[in-house]
Amino acid sequence: MDQFFFAAEVLANGLMTGVMYALVALGFVLIFKASGVFNYAQGVLALFAALTLVGIQQGQIPFAHLINAAFGTSLHHFGWTVPAVLAIALTAGVMVALAFLIEKLVLQHLVGQEPIILFMATIGLAYFLEGLGDVMWGADIKTLDVGLPQGISDAIEGTTAEWFGYGFFIDRLDIWATLIAALLVAALVAFAQYTKQGRAMRAVADDHQAALSVGISLRFIWVMVWSIAGFVALVAGIMWGTKSGVQFSLSLIALKALPVLMLGGFTSIPGAIVGGLIIGVGEKLFEFFIGPMVGGATENWFAYVLALIFLVFRPQGLFGERIIERV
């Protein structure tokens, strides 16, 4: 019986992790749908957003390290702290500016290139942003606190202990993350369905040329989509950053989001969420049941192998558009 409850707890935690994966995967799907760019930099965007948020919040001087090295000064902080809400708003502004710059400096010059070239460009972008984030704000591990509740939820532990005689350990942050992710998805879906810009975005996703011919500005839509992706990255960055500190490994969750995408299909928002949940639960349960037999740390590869096996049977993923090829 204990084993069963352990497994149920692992399952619940897996669902929460899955939500986090889905958050990152969502950013990928948005950009892929609207511009056909497979944006490897999404994870680094999350890292960059989290770094910027911490930097603004704590009043760090950007490029302090570089300025110190170049001019022999010893700057580090402005000496003020910015309230969390304002800092988040400012960071969102930075992400929009970044989206504009990316469109202007990179994507605009690569229109019509092969998808693989665009993918490479986003890897280059990821490297650049990673370096930029470190140079701007320093590479040390930072703690991020925007006032989200953290720690084990006593209420859930108490209730479950009363009902089943076994207290479930669930982080309050995970619950909040789930709620916020659900809100974000609802907002995105509503945006895409009911606003003018959202409709334009879907039109672009459907057919670039047809969208152009009815007077939709591709460039505007791209900037908008990258801004939204930047905003999603910011949310993901806040969640992951609060959970495990703002550090380089944050950008590696992008790699975890890839199998999520494959499972769900590159073009489907519900797919990203379902895929995230399957991967989150799957890897936690696998680690719980099989992990001890093979030496543990199976989370490193389980998601990829699962996606790989799945794709062999259904190459377009769960909800992806059917791949039709013509000669």
Partner 1 sequence: MLYREAGDFKTTYRDDGQTFPIRLDRWGYYVTLAVAFGIIPFVINDYWASAVFVPFLIYAIAALGLNILTGYAGQVSLGTGGFMAVGAYAVYKLMTAFPDISIVIHILLAGGITAMVGVLFGLPSLRIKGFYLAVATLAAQFFLVWLFNKVPWFYNYSASGQITAPERTILGHAVTGPASTASAKYLICLVFVFALAWIARNLTRGTLGRKWMAIRDMDIAAEIIGVNPLTAKLSAFAVSSFFIGIAGALLFAVYLGAAEVGEAFGINKSFLVLFMVIIGGLGSIFGSFAGAAFMVMMPVFLKNVLVGSLGWPTDLAAHIELMIVGALIVMFLIVEPHGLARLWSLTKEKLRLWPFPH
Closest C-alpha to 125, from 96, 105, 97: 105
Site string for partner 1, 122-161 (x = CB under 8 A): -xxxxxxxxxx-xx---x----------------------
Closest C-alpha to 98, from 227, 224, 248: 227
Q: How far, in Å, CA of 297 to CA of 289, rounded?
A: 12
| Closest separation in Å from C-beta 94 to partner 1 | 17
In sequence order, which residues have a C-beta less than 8 Å from that of residue 204 and are 6 or more positions away?
A: 34, 35, 211, 216, 218, 221
Q: Which is nearer to partner 1, 126 or 273 (CB)?
A: 126
Q: Of 87-95, 111-119, 162-170, 206-214, which segment contacts partner 1 by CB under 8 A?
A: 111-119
Residues 214-233 binding partner 1 (CB under 8 A) are none
| Closest separation in Å from C-beta 19 to partner 1 | 21
**Interface with partner 1 includes 307 (CB under 8 A)?**
yes
Q: In the chain, which ranges are continuous DSSP H helix? A: 2-35, 42-57, 64-71, 84-105, 115-137, 154-164, 172-194, 196-206, 208-213, 218-244, 253-264, 269-289, 291-294, 299-313
Site string for partner 1, 26-55 (x = CB under 8 A): ------------x-----------------
In sequence order, which residues have a C-beta less than 8 Å from that of residue 265 and are 6 or more positions away?
A: 271, 275, 316, 317, 318, 319, 320, 321
| Closest separation in Å from C-beta 316 to partner 1 | 8
One-letter amino acid identity for 235? Answer: V
Site string for partner 1, 50-79 (x = CB under 8 A): ---------------xx--xx---------
**Interface with partner 1 includes 115 (CB under 8 A)?**
yes
Q: How far, in Å, CA of 291 to CA of 296, rounded?
A: 4
Q: Binding residues for partner 1, per CB under 8 A?
A: 38, 65-66, 69-70, 106, 109-110, 113-117, 119-121, 123-132, 134-135, 139, 255, 258-259, 261-262, 266, 294-298, 300-301, 304-305, 307-308, 311-312, 315, 317, 323, 325-327
